[in-house]
Amino acid sequence: MKILFFGAGAIGTYIGGSLASAGHAVTFIERPEPADAIRARGLKVRRGAQAETIRNISVVTSPAEALAAGPYDFGVFALKSFDTATALQELRAAAHLPPAEAQPSVPVPPLLCFQNGVDNEAEIVRSLGADHVIAGTVTTAVGKPGPGEAVEERKRGVGVALGHPLSVPVVQALNQARLNARPYPAPGPMKWSKVLTNLIGNATSAILDLPVAALFADRRLFALEVAVLRECLAVMRAQAYAPVDLPGTPVRALVLAVERLPRALAQPILTRAVGGGRGGKMPSFHIDLHGGRGRTEVRWLNGAVVAHGARLGVAAPVNQALTDTLEALSAGRLDKEQFRQRPENLLRLINV
């Protein structure tokens, strides 16, 4: 298959490199500097002790250049959610698609959306049409040591929602590339189940500058994290979405621990689970906030719980407080030192 990747970040490099290694024709759109580095050195994908350099790829620096080399069987969005709108605008411009037109004059491939959150697919539909999106999710943990490099830190797999004519061929291609792809009957339960896993300790770790295991070991912060997940579950139920297990990720067991087990049992179990699952790696919001990126995906995760809850009449005050606090920290409206390893200051904002 011929596949177009928007960006060669950790997930894009890992999945795109794996597909190219399996014999698929893969093209990346990247910024000029990392594009030059990838052209010179190829992609480097490490799985355990095995490292592979992949050179049978193409790298371009604009959607226009990419589409001119098409058509493609499908594209892959593995971007940060805050980059979705810009990527779609650039793609529409490259396809010569004015706002009033229903179809592009240059073929745009369907997009496999591996992004976090539950709203990116809807944004793609609004921009390109319902036939241009395939919902996906990635549970494999991937690190990025440098441009065009990916390390498989913990292999779990990927999920792909059925319903699009290309869903099954996409699953087959991903499994040919040894990516442990699993089909799901519908996108909603799959994407919301991934949101549940993304929420675990993510915002609180960034705000307090503490590892996730430390949060779950603290009784007060454990109660906060449980409240975050219970609000998400309430929003899922309002949409009639039941949690589903994701590749290598027992989501339903997590839900059982959060909702059914007494704290005395749930806290040590979850502390071991989240600590062992992450190792020493900090979650994405922490990396973005303390790495000086100036923004995180909190609006698309905790904020999505709040927004969809408001639409459905389900209150989500804990997710709201975490979203507002982290966004203020990212924008510099609050001082990081106010909360750094000072949970009492955060807990004052949230009555759990």
User: Does pLDDT of 266 surpass 90?
Assistant: no
Q: What is the pLDDT of residues 205-257, one digit of tens each?
A: 999 999 998 998 899 999 999 999 999 999 999 999 999 999 999 999 999 99
Taken as a whole, the chain contains a residue count of 352
Q: Taking residues 159-174, what's their average pLDDT?
A: 98
- Cα 196 from Cα 240, distance rounded (Å): 15
**Which of 180-184, 193-197, 282-286, 339-343 bottoms out in mean pLDDT, i.e. has the lowest?**
282-286
Residue 38: pLDDT band (50, 70, 90) is very high
The residue among 166 and 276 whose pLDDT is bigger is: 166
User: Does pLDDT of 270 surpass 50?
Assistant: yes
Q: What is the pLDDT of residues 143-157, one digit of tens each?
A: 999 889 999 999 999
Residue 286: pLDDT band (50, 70, 90) is very high
Tokens of 132: 């241009």
Query: Any idea what DSSP says for residue 298?
Result: G
Q: Which of 117, 108, 152, 137 is nearest to 13 (CA)?
A: 152
What is the β-pairing status of strands 133-138 and 111-113? parallel
User: Does pLDDT of 345 surpass 60?
Assistant: yes
Q: Taking residues 137-147, what's their average pLDDT?
A: 93
Report the CATH superfamily, name and number, of domain 191-347.
Answer: N-(1-d-carboxylethyl)-l-norvaline Dehydrogenase; domain 2 (1.10.1040.10)
Cβ–Cβ contacts within 10 Å for residue 186, how many? 13
User: Does pLDDT of 279 surpass 60?
Assistant: no
The H or E element that residue 75 is part of is strand 74-77
User: Does pLDDT of 100 surpass 50?
Assistant: no
Q: Which residues contact 133 (CB under 8 A, 6 or more apart)?
A: 110, 111, 113, 121, 124, 125, 164
Cβ–Cβ contacts within 10 Å for residue 183, how many? 15
Ordered by start, the domain boundaries in the chain are 2-185, 191-347
* Percentage above 70 pLDDT, the chain: 96
Query: Any idea what DSSP says for residue 59?
Result: E
Number of H helices, E strands in the chain: 16, 12
Query: Are the C-beta atoms of 36 and 8 separated by less than 8 Å?
Result: no
**CATH fold for domain 2-185:** Rossmann fold (3.40.50)
Residue 347, class by beta-carbon neighbours within 10 Å (0-12 exposed, 13-18 middle, 19+ buried)?
middle
Query: Are the C-beta atoms of 29 and 4 separated by less than 8 Å?
Result: yes
